[in-house]
Amino acid sequence: MDSEQAVKTIVAPDWSTSEPMILFAWLVEVGDVVAVGDRVAEIGIQGVSRDFECPARGVVKQRLVTAGSSISAGDVLLSLSLNEDLHDSSHPMSD
């Protein structure tokens, strides 16, 4: 088995807003297994928030932004490990 782990960084979306975005809240913890489409954070502008869905499957390795922080499109929000055991009954693997 390869000892190197593939890591994917997840970046803030470009929602074409002239106002700075805010990461209001994290909906995942380090170590959580996430699937494509899982809600991982609430992001928005002052007074309006939207769910940010994960674009990849993996295990949350690191959250790189603190809740309440201002963010810009393309800022790295979190990193996922793609090679860890993804067994989790809430996200059955299907290939």
- The total number of residues shown for the chain amounts to 95
What Rg value do the Cα atoms of the chain yield, rounded?
14
CA gap 63, 28 in Å, rounded? 9
Q: What are phi and psi of 24, to 5 degrees?
A: -75, -45
- Residue-wise pLDDT tens for the chain (95 aa)? 444 679 999 999 998 888 889 999 999 999 999 999 999 999 999 888 999 999 999 999 999 999 999 999 999 999 999 976 655 544 444 33
Find, among 63, 70, 66, 48, the residue nearest to 9 by Cα.
63
Q: Which domains does the chain have, with CATH numbers?
A: 13-81 (2.40.50.100)
SS3 of residue 60 by DSSP: strand
Please tell me the predicted confidence (pLDDT) of residue 61. 97
